[in-house]
Amino acid sequence: MKRYLLLLVGVVAVLVSGACSKGGSSAIKVGVIAELTGDMPAVGESCKKAAQLAVKQANDAGGIEVAGKKFPLELFIEDNAGKADQSAAAAQKLITQQKVHAIVGPNATRYALPASEIAESSKVVLITPWSTNPKTTLDARSNAPKKHVFRACFIDPFQGRVLAKFALETLRARKAAVLFDVASEYNKGIAEIFRETFEQTGGKIVAFETYTTNDKDFSGQMTKIKNAAPDVIFLPNYYSEIPLQIQQAKRLGITVPFVGSDSWGSQELLKLCGDACEGYYFSTNYAADAATPAATKFIEDFKGAYGSVPDDVAALTYDSFGLLAQALKTAKQLERGAIRDALARIPLYEGVTGNMQFREGSGDPVKSAVIVKITGGKFKYFATANP
């Protein structure tokens, strides 16, 4: 009798779960996993604000129509505290307890990777706004594309090649040095792509230095870099680390330009780095001062709601919700599998960060990159790099 009762409970649980994911919901449930505390709270805050704005606008317009019926959006926000295990736990909670139809986030690759594994195994759509490492959307065992994991940003191989060519062709650098976090998939991956491209196209890497997450003293690595006499220094590291690295380099008398990746894109970088970052460049997904009409409206709406200019994480989060909304409108029903299929079939999405499309079988969008220059304490558009 006891075994029968346990079996019955299990069957009921499966039926309830199926009902929630197959149209039994009265709302479109979207989870957000953001780095609200931990090592990059500015990233998490931008993500949360953009998500709340996107949901408010959708609900103010009466919700999103799916298969002839309008549904409001219900938002569930989880803080991963800047930890990989909490990212996975947050994804599990959103899927099994909140019964979300889709997840947006996490942002940083080291947190998006574990969450994406949970989403893929649970067959729930996850769109990461900011994780550029190719591994996020690839199955670790087969190296084939994950079916349920997508992103709104470009990927590191494209970004690394853009930056290497920019250093060679625009900055006229022939010798480059690199400093990166060897414990982070994002930093390590883009550093290796930069080195490969720079050397293949005629340059020479004279120093390839590493550190580990949460290190604060970079003087030893910077001394080696100074002695190697590079023309440019590449730092594919997060906004919270860059100020210390550049300030320590300057104290050692290093005067060559620095170039960074999209992880520089937070407005917090300007506050933390001050004049030390003036005149340097980084790649990103959008520049607020070179906005399209769609981006201009988003910037105005964001400023109206929060009193500040949105950074790239905010713009990419907003585009993640835009991609999801476009998929929902063409989905055959409010069901996790139908949402995934509709998202994979999007032929073109005209977003805040530019136009993008998904190739068959891949969650990586085809889109352009932007080069930004730090000028007068602000991020200024410098150039566009097309795929």
Mean pLDDT per block of 10 residues along the chain (387 residues) reads 36 37 74 97 98 98 96 98 98 98 97 98 98 94 94 96 96 98 95 97 97 97 98 97 97 98 95 96 94 94 97 97 97 96 94 89 92 96 89
Q: What share of the chain is helix, strand, coil (3-state, %, to 5)?
A: 45, 20, 30
Domain holding 182, by residue range, is 157-284
Last residue of one domain, picked from the residues 260, 284, 308: 284
For residues 40 and 189, membership in a common domain is answered with no
pLDDT at 21: 41
Of 261, 262, 236, 233, the C-alpha closest to 248 is: 233
Residue 47 is part of a domain; what is its CATH number? 3.40.50.2300
pLDDT at 24: 55
For residues 196 and 225, membership in a common domain is answered with yes
Q: Which residues contact 299 (CB under 8 A, 6 or more apart)?
A: 288, 291, 309, 310
For residues 353 and 310, membership in a common domain is answered with yes
Q: Which residues contact 228 (CB under 8 A, 6 or more apart)?
A: 175, 177, 206, 207
pLDDT at 163: 97
> 373 in a domain, yes or no?
no
Count of the separate structural domains present in the chain = 2
Of 291, 335, 332, the C-alpha closest to 311 is: 291
| Phi (first) and psi of residue 294, to 5 degrees | -65, -40
For residues 53 and 107, membership in a common domain is answered with yes
For residues 129 and 94, membership in a common domain is answered with yes
> 379 in a domain, yes or no?
no
For residues 307 and 277, membership in a common domain is answered with no
> 265 in a domain, yes or no?
yes
Which residue type does 218 have?
Answer: F
Taking residue 11's Cβ as centre, other Cβ atoms within 10 Å add up to 10
Cα separation of 37 and 18, whole Å? Answer: 33
pLDDT at 291: 81
For residues 171 and 129, membership in a common domain is answered with no
Of 151, 157, 162, 91, the C-alpha closest to 122 is: 91
pLDDT at 198: 98
Cα separation of 99 and 23, whole Å? Answer: 12
Cα separation of 53 and 58, whole Å? Answer: 9
Instruction: For residue 25, give both structure tokens.
Output: 């919901």
pLDDT at 118: 98
Cα separation of 92 and 69, whole Å? Answer: 28
pTM confidence score? 0.90
Of 261, 247, 248, the C-alpha closest to 219 is: 248
Torsion of CA 20, 22, 26, 27, to 10 degrees: 90
